[in-house]
Chain A
Amino acid sequence: MLSLEINGLEMRYPGLAAPVLAIDRLQVPAGTRLCITGASGSGKSTFVNAITGLERIRHGSVSWNGTDLTRLSAGGRDAFRARHIGLVMQDFHLFPGLSAFENVVLPVRLARRLTSTEAQRARFLLDVTGIARPQQRIETLSRGEMQRVAVARALLLKPGVIVADEPTASLDSQAGEQVSELLVRLSREERATLIVVTHDPALAARLDRHIRLVAGAIVEDKEGVQAP
């Protein structure tokens, strides 16, 4: 499980006077189930990009269990993310032409040989996420099933943290409910910190710490289960 520590983080884009995201100090202990909310354009995705190393950080620092992402090269951040962060995105980013199973193991296969333990775990995760036929071609799955495959993929290497950016936004309420339940349950079972950006009250209600962003700044940080 990973803990997050942010200090003096500022994300700016060229042509914008004010930073899109400015977080002076934030600590997320390992095992926290954190919910980030905020209006559109408030900097939620920018926050995700910063803490997962998808975007380079120029001001401040972001550390996971003491590993400072700002000290890593782009390749180093990619490697760190691959090893420690399970990412779930609004658009599932699954690859057509491959089966559900192949999609789950694709990131590993692109890096190296898949071990039999990993193959077994992939099948286990697909089973846990309720995908009955792992060999089914991904484009023939329902949207809810697709996002569940994406969750299985995020968990393959037992990441210390699961980061999800609007995981239910493109699903209907029932499928969204299943994915929400899965994320919370698996993060607990797999002993991973969970950070979720969402507008979905049902999902937010399952999480135990809520941060609200306005114009890139934290305006609210509450512990305890509650609707935003």
Chain B
Amino acid sequence: MIRFILADLRRFGGGALSVVILIALSVALSVAVTLQERAVRLGSARAAEKFDLLVGAPGSETQLALSAVFLQPAPLPLMSGKVLAKLAADPRVALAAPVGFGDSSFGFPIVGTTTALISALSPQLADGLPFSRLADAVVGADVPLKTGAEVKPMHGSVETGGETHTQIIYRVVGRMAPTRTAWDRAILVPIRAVWGLHGMAGAEAHAHEGETHGDEEPGHAHGQGDEHPAGSEPAGEHGLPAHPEAHGPQDDDEADEHGHVHGHVDADAPLDEHFDAQTPGVPAVLVKPKTIADAYRLRQEYRSETTLAVFPAEVLTRLYATLGDARSLLLAIAVGTQGIVIAAILLVATMHIGARKRQIGALRALGAPMRAVVILVWGELFVLFLAGIGLGGLIGLVTAQLISARLTAATAVHLPVEFAQEDWRLAIGFVVAAAVVSLVPALGALRLSPAAALRS
């Protein structure tokens, strides 16, 4: 029986192959959409896991979450440093780490923060030590820099015509274990180095005790995607200002001969991770509350006129809803395609049966039982369906894996392509539908008497 089916399929090789490809492509579309949507959802949820609560200046919640979780370059307003100091001192807070963006090196974002965040992200460093001097840097697992390598920070990025800071050259002292988040692509440096580099008052806060600074009013910033040509960048373009003149006359005494003002950075200065009211502004503070109740209370408290508090996971959930809509649309398209494909297959099958009425009539005339004829016609179509579904699943899986790999390469966020329970239900559904659809021409083949079938 199988041999006869195969011999028959070989005879219609080209047609059979195109039917298989047709089915495979439509199945691949839905498989890829399903897997990819799940990969993005799971991957980003896992990436957000480490970031319980984010506090930043009022603005877009989504932007705040995306910038901190995915280190996406974006304009973030600065928030008063006092908030950081207050959070750091709060007994309900296990960890409050500042996050300062704006610079990059070799295309990797440089993030100013504290050793506490490094321990939170990677309790055990893969290599080296956390930073202990102002010019030390710890790199994420995906940054191809060895311990001892030099990192010259560039304001903004190469694409936006960033300008290299000359006052400091960081030296890599450690490497984090892989976190499978965007932070695997980050170069972490002491926040005070970032402040100092951008000439933000407060870098030497302890030397100017009691002085007031203009940075408490949020400095507005534009993203790195900004189109300003090099050299004409407006003040305070990025997460942190490039040139401190943006902050007003109080910094004039630090102007260099180009009229630019740069902060003094003492590369060997010891680490100071104590924050107080004079602490300069930061775009975001990462907070690990001690309990869930604390988390909700803190979020409530820091949702105010001057600050914004978000659970990144919650923001992402809202984004997934949008993603989910896109998925539903794509799946609807995929299902529509499948409908069309099934109709096309039925058409092909019906024509095929028409052309084979004689063969079917002859088989019955020669003594093949009806059951055999039904199994034969049904089996041939079903084999094609199965091959198409199998091939389609494979193509869909490979496609999703390729897309995930590309996204991971670009963002360092690990996007797991994996099957779930519901997929098997879907697959079984496909197979059952294929089995039922294949039955239509098979039963049609029996309508005629063998004599009538032979005559055609």
A residues touching B (Cβ–Cβ < 8 Å)?
49, 52, 54-56, 74-75, 78-79, 81-83, 87, 89, 93, 95-98, 102, 106-111, 153, 157
Contacts and interface: CB of A to CB of B under 8 A. Distances in A.
B185 to A, nearest CB: 58
Interface of B: 1, 3-4, 7-8, 10-11, 358-359, 362-370, 372-373, 376, 449-452, 454
B451 A97 contact: no
A78 B364 contact: yes
A96 B366 CA distance: 16
B368 A49 contact: no
B451 A49 contact: yes
6 contacts: A74-B449, A82-B367, A97-B7, A107-B363, A107-B367, A111-B369
Given A54-B454, A110-B373, 16 more contacts: A49-B451, A52-B365, A74-B449, A78-B367, A78-B368, A93-B366, A95-B4, A95-B8, A95-B359, A98-B4, A107-B366, A108-B367, A109-B1, A110-B4, A110-B368, A111-B368
Contact of B362 (A79, A93, A98): A93
- Rank and list the top 8 A-B pairs by shortest CB-CB distance, nearest first: A82-B367, A97-B7, A93-B362, A110-B372, A54-B451, A110-B368, A107-B367, A49-B451
B192 to A, nearest CB: 80
B369 A75 contact: yes
A136 to B, nearest CB: 15
Contact of B8 (A75, A79, A93, A97): A97
A54 B366 CA distance: 10
Contacts of A97: 7-8, 10-11
A153 B370 contact: no
Contact of A81 (B4, B358, B367, B370): B367
A56 B10 CA distance: 34
Given A97-B8, A102-B3, A75 B370 contact: yes
A157 B11 CA distance: 29
Contacts of A79: 369
Contacts of B369: 75, 78-79, 82, 110-111
Contacts of B452: 55
